[in-house]
Amino acid sequence: MAESRKLRMGLVGGGPGAFIGPVHRIAAELDGRIELVAGAFSSSPEKSRAAGLSYRIDPQRAYGSYEEMIAQEKQRPDAIDFVVIATPNSTHLPVAKAALEAGIPVMSDKPATATYDQVLELEKVVARAGLPYGLTHTYAGYALVRDARALCAAGEIGPVRKVVVEYLQGWLSESIEASGQKQASWRVDPKLNGPGGCIGDIGTHAFHLLEYITGLDVIALQGTLRSVVEGRQVDDDCTALLKLSNGAQGILLASQIAAGEGNGLRIRVYGEKGSLHWQQENPNTLTLRRTAGPDETRHASGGYLSPDARAVTRLPGGHPEGYFEAFAVLYREFAEWLEAWRANKAEAPATLPGIRAAVRGMRFIERAIESSRTGQWVEF
């Protein structure tokens, strides 16, 4: 029988001034199936308590550290059902490991870990624990990304020949880390972020989107990573040529020094019969262009969309859905999985990014760095 109570979430990260932690909270709660009840919101116990007050949770459950949260929650009859990880990358593995080894499922933000070695360890921990693990590649939650994926799978554009994916941001065009900007400071520090800067932060999103929509694997790449802003220790501008498992080729651009850009994630997939065009700054339309015949603009919530896309739209046509809703789609799928897993050990839904995407994303970073260092093509 389906559970009637809300699932209880414990959030790690999302302290005062944080970006993505509060987004996780809003998205997780959007469908009324999940409730934030506990957290270790900051590495500073004082700030964690202050965040607990702002989230209006029981002050007793705003913990000083994630270790304390896990230990204390395990004692409670109303313990958290899963842990969300929304901290800088270097903490992802220790938090995930602590939660999974304590028997608590995990929903983690990307990149899955700071290094490739760490994700291999995480993969083993997830397998050993046998618990749900989800990865919030947000863009996989957009209805028209689901539609593009379904159209590719149905052969609507024919076999894929070429993919162009770009993720261009401009917010790191200057050394804002020098003035202590919170989000920039840890992202340019290899100890907190990992060795891949822009390639890890947004290149992994572009990489995931390409594989998610096309259903193809990247099998080789040649990458060039640069640090354009003086003194920066990680890359901030990346270009990669890709070979895909069906013989198609791709190009991936990721940059955080693309001055003037906001969150310019855009993908074009070219098949033998036509192409698909989607961009996240205008996410409610997908264009399908055919070599023979007129262009088709597909709107989110259109009754003609694929069932996978219709399943994740909430509003009638013309009412824009965006970032929060896409994020919430991943949470709804995670909640459904968690309940089904409890009932009958159900497998992960194919639409929700998980440990496979985690490993591939980290491998992508590692391979791109290696290729940039040697100047050679590298196998994936």
Binding-site ranges for ligand NAD (CB under 6 A): 12-15, 18-21, 40-43, 66, 86-89, 91, 109-110, 136, 138, 182-183, 186, 201
Of the pair 14, 271, the CB lying nearest ligand NAD is at: 14
CB of 52 to ligand NAD, least distance (A): 12
Take residue 15 and report the two structure tokens written for it.
């302290």
Question: Checking phi first, is residue 117 left (phi over 0); if not, alpha (psi -120 to 50) or beta?
Answer: alpha
Are the CB atoms for 207 and 361 separated by under 8 Å?
yes
Q: How far apart are CB 157 and ligand NAD at their closest, in Å?
A: 27
Least distance to ligand NAD, CB of residue 19, Å: 4
Nearer to ligand NAD by C-beta: 43 or 245?
43
> Which CB atom, from 110 or from 268, has the smaller least distance to ligand NAD?
110
The alpha-helical segments, DSSP class H, found in the chain are: 20-29, 45-54, 66-75, 92-101, 116-129, 143-153, 182-187, 190-193, 198, 204-214, 307-310, 323-344, 355-374
- Nearer to ligand NAD among residue 19 and residue 377 (C-beta): 19
For residue 347, count other CB atoms closer than 10 A to its CB: 10
Cis peptide before 94 (omega within 30 of 0): no
Alpha carbons 240 and 378: distance in angstroms, whole number: 11
Three-state secondary-structure class, residue 277: strand
CB 343 to ligand NAD: min, Å: 28
CB closest to ligand NAD, residue no:
15
Q: Which is nearer to ligand NAD, 11 or 125 (CB)?
A: 11
Q: Please list the residues that pair with 41 across neighbouring strands.
A: none
| Number of C-beta neighbours around residue 118 at 10 A | 21
CB of 41 to ligand NAD, least distance (A): 6
| Choice between 270 and 327, CB closer to ligand NAD | 327
Q: How far is the CB of 291 from ligand NAD (least distance, A)?
A: 34
Please state the φ and ψ torsions of residue 196, each to the nearest 5 degrees. -100, 115
